[in-house]
Amino acid sequence: MTKATNVATRRDGDSGSDDPVTTPGGEADAIVQAAARAAAPWAALNRTGRTQVLRTIADHLDSAADELVAIGARETHLGEARLRGELRRTTFQLRLFAELVTDGSYLDVRIDHADPDWPMGAPRPDLRRLMLPLGPVLVFAASNFPFAFSVAGGDTASALAAGCPVVVKVHPGHPELSAATAERVKAALVAAGSPEGVFDIITGLDAGVAALRAPEIKAASFTGSIAGGRALFDIASQRPEPIPFYGELGSVNPVFVTRAAATNRAEEIVAGFIASFTLGAGQFCTKPGVLLVPRDSDLVERLTQATYPAPAPLLNPRIQSGYTETLRQLTSHPSVSYAGNADPFADPPGPTVLTVRAADLVEQQDDLFRECFGPTVLVASYDSEDELLTVAEMIDGQLTATIVGEEGDRVLAPLMQALALKAGRLLWNAWPTGVSVTYAQHHGGPYPATTSPTITSVGTAAIARFLRPVAYQNFPQWLLPAALRDDTTLPRLVDGRRL
């Protein structure tokens, strides 16, 4: 079994074939056609109007919090506190994108006035450039964040903010919550006077694939497994008109602990690591899955003797079975030892610590350096800090990579340089779980972490996924979009100077 297949069934828990309901082909096509009809009026809506729509959606979701959280608790095994916090994050990011739209900087307005003395050797024409929405977007919802990465999650929020209608293929792990959330979003759109067709949902893998192939869809996003995401990416790429496909697939999120840090802060490191890899029963895409520690430290012993959270049920049976499959493959490997005291194969599973030599991790990367979506970690012991660099240089693309070190560690500079080539977010003496929704956040990375390493799916920069640049040459002021006229007050670059 290949590395990609090893993570195929455990992260999104969505084979498509077990969806409880499948949107009929005619209905799914009508939803896509409605999104296409809504594209022009939604894109033409002024920024004030779009801002109000996003805030209205957030208000409607907040007002339905009690009902939505109760449904989510029934369907996902997630607790009330977690679900309420995730819903707050969901409405926060809708309002944050509303602020971004109000500001207008996402349009990246650039104005070059005509210059007859342009040093290129020929006169420079009047050129004005801004970003326009791509058109209808297809969002494949995730299972592990039933609010924040689902029907009204970050992909939907950023696409709507960009001016793109959205069709969401719901996840079968929380169908009732998806329908209830969609009802609130639609009600908000009606209340705000939005064009019909700006948002809708479909169910079932067949409907999702058909929508992905529909010529009216101009971009798609996905959060899930490598195999599932890669299959959809290939469909998107092989269409008669290929479209951007923004897939977040798989990540191990390694943590590199220097010898000095292990000596000086062992207790702190163990406590932070346990809290991070057991958060949400290990079902975060940023869960640290491999911890590299010096062999002559007591970190493995401390991890073995530590107190862990009680076992918690995983999101759904498919994730449970996928987790168990990957765990069996790891524990049966001759180089891997079991260092925990819980039953790793129980349902629900207890937090599990496996150990291996860093040298074996390097030699057998495909078998050992893999995402195990659940409460299991692999602790790799090294003899020399040079092995940290070896591991950093051999790994594939990651969402995150963490360095736990001390000032003056000789390995820090080369380790950072190596990891910057492999991960989308580097952390210093912090833990990767908990992806803050901010202006500077980057949640992405080289393949197989994502299919598009230049783009984030979290934070305000996520809006760039659903925009494309258009330049206007020598147009009169009255014909130009308002954002490109000389009297615009938007943030802009004029003749090379930021205003």
Return the axis-axis angle of helices 25-44 and 205-213, rounded to nearest 10°: 50
Catalytic residue at 248?
Answer: yes
- Residue 10 CB contacts under 8 Å (≥ 6 apart), including other chains: 225, 318, 319, 321, 322, 323, 325, 326, 371, 372, 373, 374
Longest dimension (CA), the chain: 77
What are 131's strand-pairing partners?
A: 469
Catalytic residue at 372?
Answer: no
Structure tokens at 201: 């949902």
- Locus of tokens 């996520």: 462
Whole-number Å distance between alpha carbons of 243 and 451:
12
Sheet containing 467-473, strands listed edge to edge, beginning at the edge strand earlier in sequence: 467-473, 127-133, 109-112, 492-494, 497-498
The residue from 216, 248, 371, 387 that is catalytic is: 248
Are 285 and 145 in contact, with CB atoms under 8 Å apart?
Answer: no
Are 373 and 319 in contact, with CB atoms under 8 Å apart?
Answer: yes
The residue from 86, 164, 216, 285 that is catalytic is: 285
399 phi and psi, to 5 degrees?
A: -70, -45
Are 37 and 197 in contact, with CB atoms under 8 Å apart?
Answer: yes
- Residue 379 CB contacts under 8 Å (≥ 6 apart), including other chains: 290, 291, 292, 293, 299, 300, 303, 339, 353, 354, 355, 356
**Which residues form the catalytic set?**
248, 285
